Structure 1
Amino acid sequence: MQLVVARIGRAHGIKGEVTVEVRTDEPELRLGPGAVLATDPASTGPLTIATGRVHSGKLLLRFEGCLDRTAAEALRNTLLIADVDPEDLPEESDEYYDHQLMDLDVVLADGTEIGRITEISHLASQDLFIVERPDGTELMIPFVEQIVTEIDLEEQRAVINPPPGLIDDSQAEVASERDDA
């Protein structure tokens, strides 16, 4: 299985380094020196990481054969893709890889279907499930244990207990009427 683990950003300095936007929870495993990564667009790769370091809170990488700023600039916006064994699991029992959560059905505790996870957005404060509803609209569900109460990989579902207003506006109206009383 292939997963996008980073996106190449700007060139840094004159010796071929680039900034990268990390898209994996395990950069030390996936983005270390010697790692060979496929790319999107495929015409720029595969790329082998020569060196990596953190500078001012950003990960900087240099790839074999990328020796100057011009070569580094040509890689901007390239996606880096790692081969991942689908049987690999995170060390912690309550952690999941994005590929495990993609396409899970999202349901309420009573089984009511809400939609399907189509994307996971990693924000500084928390992760969000982007859920496509049956009518084609999208919904954002914070991936926190108070809301996402169960992940069942065998049943391919995520059970949620949403606060009023998270799923539809009619719940928010009912909650506001209750607060007014």
Structure 2
Amino acid sequence: MTRDLPPTSVLLAEIGAAHGVRGEVRVKSHTADPEAFQDYGPLHDDRGRTFEVVSARPLKADMLVVAFKGVTDRTAAEKLNRTRLHVDRSALPDPDDEDEFYHADLIGLAVETIAGEPVGTVVAVPNFGSDDLLEVRRPGRSSLYVPFTRAVVPTVDFEARKVVIDPPDGLLDEAGEPPAGADGPDGPAPSGDDDQ
């Protein structure tokens, strides 16, 4: 049984296949330093279970081999496949760069145009394969997907709890539907040179 995660919950890692016979699993980390996902205290999943890392070692790029407390055999490890591990935003440090944001910090911000016209509210920060997008819920209309780049989103004002966009022609008239079959992450998202 799953439960709704709090809006301040940040995705740090995802458990993959079992690795060996002693309960270890492959874990894909979403932190800049892959091994840092274990540095923020116990992790939790969307079923309310808590996970404590006993050991972690690099496997490749952003993939680790991890042993969790209480998971001691392959059968138990296999049951964890596709488990998403979260931590509350309050456990994470503030980003070092002013152009880096945690998705959880953006959720709930009001969105308005540079002319001050209200657009909606940020409800998600999906990535369907290239750049991050802001999913903006508009009252009485379908969601709008705004490219999260400096050109389109010149201002993120946390004190005023708003995002200011400079929408390209036609953006506010489109349905803004995501690509078919897309499923993007919601974890920490440091951006590239041209992104927010």
Question: TM-score interval w.r.t. the shorter chain?
Answer: 0.7 to 0.9
Match in the other structure for 2:184:
none
What TM-score do you get using the length of structure 1 for normalisation? 0.77
- Letter of the 1:37 counterpart: L
- Letter of the 1:19 counterpart: R
**Is 1:112 paired with 2:112?**
no
Instruction: Pick the structure with more helix per residue.
Output: 1
Q: CA RMSD in A?
A: 2.7
Q: 1:161 to 1:113 in 2, by over 3 A?
A: same
1:102 pairs with one of 88, 100, 107 = 107
In 2: Cα distance, 1:138 partner to 1:82 partner: 27
**Is 1:164 paired with 2:164?**
no
> Based on CA coordinates, which of the two structures has the bigger radius of gyration?
1
- Check the 8 A contact 1:35/1:49 in 2, yes or no: no
Describe the SS at the equivalent of 1:121.
Answer: coil
Q: 1:72 to 1:131 in 2, by over 3 A?
A: same
- Check the 8 A contact 2:30/2:37 in 1, yes or no: no
Q: Deviations over 1:152-176 (max 9, x none)?
A: 001111111111122214xxxxxxx
Percent identity over the alignment is 34
Q: 1:64 to 1:130 in 2, by over 3 A?
A: same
Match in the other structure for 1:140:
145
Match in the other structure for 2:191:
none
What TM-score do you get using the length of structure 2 for normalisation? 0.72
Match in the other structure for 1:10:
17
Give the unaligned 5+ runs of structure 1: 170-181
Q: 1:60 to 1:127 in 2, by over 3 A?
A: farther
Give the unaligned 5+ runs of structure 2: 1-7, 175-196
Higher relative contact order (CA 8 A, sep 6+): 2
Instruction: Pick the structure with more strand per residue.
Output: 1
Match in the other structure for 1:121:
126
Aligned length: 168
In 2: Cα distance, 1:26 partner to 1:97 partner: 15
Q: 1:84 to 1:104 in 2, by over 3 A?
A: closer
Q: Deviations over 1:38-64 (max 9, x none)?
A: 23212x433324213233653442213
- Letter of the 1:96 counterpart: F
- Check the 8 A contact 2:18/2:26 in 1, yes or no: yes
